[in-house]
Amino acid sequence: MASDPVKLRIEKASQSYDGERWQFRDLDLALSAGEIIAILGPNGRGKSTLLRVLAGLLKPTAGKTVLSPRTGFVPQEFSGSFPYSVLDVVLMGRARHIGLFQTPGKIDVEKAMEALVATGMADYAPRNIDALSGGERQLVLIARALAGENAVLLLDEPASALDLKNQDVVLSLVGALADRQGLAIAFTTHQPNHALAVADKVLLMLDQARTVFGVTDEVMTEDNLEALYGIPVRSSKLDSGQRMKSAFVPLFRQRHRKGSRS
């Protein structure tokens, strides 16, 4: 019998911290091997909360969850009290493979280095994690999740604080991990164009716990994004030099100011 490609699932899941304001209600979502889901929503709508439910770090108020034991959660930032090396941080991802009171062995170091190679960070192994840039630290956190030999990766705004080049590096890595290694990946973002770049499906978290979920090209429309963010958003076709690509452009209000361009 073929193995089930679905790596995690929530059914009729709802979440509220006070029983009055709901982050999401009756949400059905499944994530399969080799699939990427982008989760978009305004600040405070519950994107990170949903990711924690998917990771098994938070039990939903209601509903059923079927979670993979091989799930790696990648937070926005690494916080540590000691000056860890990059290799030390990645070895933390091997925790469930190392016995209680045991230290990492040869195989653990090998797996950690393989993960650093996959993320292009092998040369940084001996460096202090605090000496790295935001983009470099994000790649190290992804390597930590990879070192755990996870089937699922859940990334909380992996490119939120990065410049355009490093956003491209992280998104390219996410796409490669799904395509080449068959990982099931979900990530949160404020950027519609991140979803266009790599996501197979998109979940939009609207107001009053409403959600829209489906194939990227069907969900990512001007009307849906305007409803999501409360400002006009327009779709544009751009020539990348190889083929035409879609992009979304928010129409921010431009106030007339003395001395400003007309």
Question: Which residues have a Cβ under 8 Å from the Cβ of 19 and sit 6 or more positions away?
Answer: 61
Residue 154 Cα distances to 106, 189, 241, 249, angstroms: 27, 12, 32, 27
Does residue 262 have a pLDDT over 60?
no
Residue 3: what pLDDT? Answer: 60
Nearest alpha carbon to residue 117 among 142, 99, 96, 97: 142
CA gap 72, 69 in Å, rounded? 9
Does residue 225 have a pLDDT over 50?
yes
Q: What is the pTM of this model?
A: 0.89
CA gap 8, 67 in Å, rounded? 5
Residue 261: what pLDDT? Answer: 57
153 versus 257: the higher-pLDDT residue is: 153
The answer to whether residues 216 and 199 touch, using CB atoms and an 8 Å cutoff, is yes
Report H helices in 92-191.
106-118, 134-147, 164-181
In this prediction, residue 260 has a pLDDT band, given cuts at 50, 70 and 90, of low
Q: What is the mean pLDDT of residues 48-60?
A: 94
3 state SS of 59: coil
Residue 160: what pLDDT? Answer: 83
In this prediction, residue 68 has a pLDDT band, given cuts at 50, 70 and 90, of confident
Residue 61: what pLDDT? Answer: 95
**pLDDT per position as a tens digit, 3-33:** 668 899 999 999 999 888 899 999 999 999 9
Say yes or no: domain 1-70+151-233 is CATH 3.60.60.10: no
Output the average pLDDT for the chain.
90
Lowest mean pLDDT among 18-32, 110-124, 243-257: 243-257
Q: What is the mean pLDDT of residues 222-236?
A: 95
CA gap 94, 111 in Å, rounded? 8
CA gap 110, 87 in Å, rounded? 11
Q: What is the mean pLDDT of residues 183-194?
A: 96
As to burial, measured by CB atoms within 10 angstroms (0-12 exposed, 13-18 middle, 19+ buried), residue 144 is buried
Residue 1: what pLDDT? Answer: 38
Q: What is the mean pLDDT of residues 205-213?
A: 91
Residue 108 Cα distances to 33, 60, 137, 240, 257, angstroms: 24, 33, 20, 42, 59
The answer to whether residues 63 and 10 touch, using CB atoms and an 8 Å cutoff, is yes
Q: What is the mean pLDDT of residues 46-57?
A: 94
In this prediction, residue 99 has a pLDDT band, given cuts at 50, 70 and 90, of low
DSSP letter, residue 98: S
Angle at 55 between CA 51 and CA 58, to 5 degrees: 80
In this prediction, residue 243 has a pLDDT band, given cuts at 50, 70 and 90, of confident
CA gap 25, 209 in Å, rounded? 6
CATH 3.40.50.300 range(s) for the chain read 1-70+151-233
The b-or-e profile of 223-239 (16+ CB within 10 A means b, else e) is ebbeebbeeebeeeeee
